């Protein structure tokens, strides 16, 4: 670069700087590439995949073909719901050995967390000693703000897909301690379209409800729940069914869902 003696010296230096090619410093480029690789690796590790004796991870949003979808059927019980422990546990009762299909999922979609295809260490058997547990380190804690209260469990019996008539084993879902007795149940659902719904619980052989919830408007796409409190555990052991019935607000078409389950008061 040449500058006349009458020219401004600062202008000469400015011209020289503008003429030089500008590149990002090499260390910054390397750091950016390394960060991108780490992020991509972390996302791959969180994807839904096989982990030991189950499949778990973040997956695509599931699509339900049913007007009403059962998300969870559980004993109503809270165990340090705002803290993430080292492990999560699911315990459930069977009247006899059955084929079991256990799903853990988010009740309200944020991360699209999903766990299923559980292979137990020993066959599921009669009684309340059926337990599945897994570490929260690989996926749950990596998602940051996911809590046990954000998740729901459904234990389907004999079939692995949803249906209009479900048979389930209500799950105890906990981190460290489980209760000595079941004092309430909670059932979570989601609707494909907005509807008016009512709910009732019957003894399996009975025609008169022993509990009911009045008809109410339910929003599409968001979870809602019904909780049956057992009045100090006074409900006798046996088979029960939860019946949802109503109609879609857009068409007046009827909708219904039946959930059959066995109530075992004592956890033993």
How far apart CA 208 and CA 84 sit, in angstroms, is: 42
Residue 22 lies in a domain: no
Residue 33 lies in a domain: no
User: Is pLDDT of 99 > 80?
Assistant: yes
Domain count, the chain: 1
Q: pLDDT for 10-55, tens place per residue?
A: 444 444 444 555 545 666 645 444 444 444 555 789 999 999 899 9
What pLDDT is attached to residue 268?
82
Residue 57 lies in a domain: yes
Residue 102 lies in a domain: yes
Residue 199 lies in a domain: yes
Residue 26 lies in a domain: no
- The pTM assigned to this predicted structure is 0.83
DSSP label of 1: -
State which residues form the domain around 111.
Answer: 46-263
* CB atoms inside a 10 Å sphere around CB 240: 22
Residue 10 lies in a domain: no
Residue 237 lies in a domain: yes
Q: Which residues does residue 186 pair with via DSSP β-bridges, in sequence order? A: 74, 227
């Amino acid at each position: 670069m040449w500058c006349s003696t009458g020219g401004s010296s600062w202008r000469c230096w400015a011209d020289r700087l503008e003429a030089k090619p500008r590149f990002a410093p090499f260390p910054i480029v390397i750091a950016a590439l390394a960060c991108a690789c780490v992020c991509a690796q972390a996302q791959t590790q969180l994807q839904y995949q096989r982990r030991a004796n189950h499949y778990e991870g973040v997956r695509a949003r599931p699509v339900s073909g049913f007007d009403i979808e059962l998300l969870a059927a559980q004993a109503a019980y809270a165990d340090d719901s705002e803290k993430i422990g080292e492990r999560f546990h699911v315990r459930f009762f069977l009247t006899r050995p059955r084929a079991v299909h256990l799903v853990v999922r988010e009740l309200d979609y944020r991360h699209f967390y999903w766990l299923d295809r559980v292979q137990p260490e020993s066959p599921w058997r009669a009684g309340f000693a059926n337990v599945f547990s897994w570490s929260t380190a690989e996926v749950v804690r990596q998602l940051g703000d996911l809590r046990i209260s954000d998740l729901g469990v459904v234990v389907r019996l004999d079939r692995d897909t949803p249906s209009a008539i479900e048979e389930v084993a209500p799950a105890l879902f906990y981190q460290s301690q489980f209760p000595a007795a079941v004092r309430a149940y909670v059932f979570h659902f989601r609707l494909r379209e907005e509807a008016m719904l009512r709910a009732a619980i019957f003894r399996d052989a009975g025609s008169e409800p022993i509990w009911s919830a009045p008809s109410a408007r339910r929003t599409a796409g968001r979870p809602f729940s019904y909780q049956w409190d057992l009045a100090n555990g006074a409900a006798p052991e046996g088979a029960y069914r939860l019946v949802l019935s109503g109609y879609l607000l857009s068409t007046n078409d009827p909708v219904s869902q039946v959930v059959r389950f066995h109530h075992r008061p004592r956890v033993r």
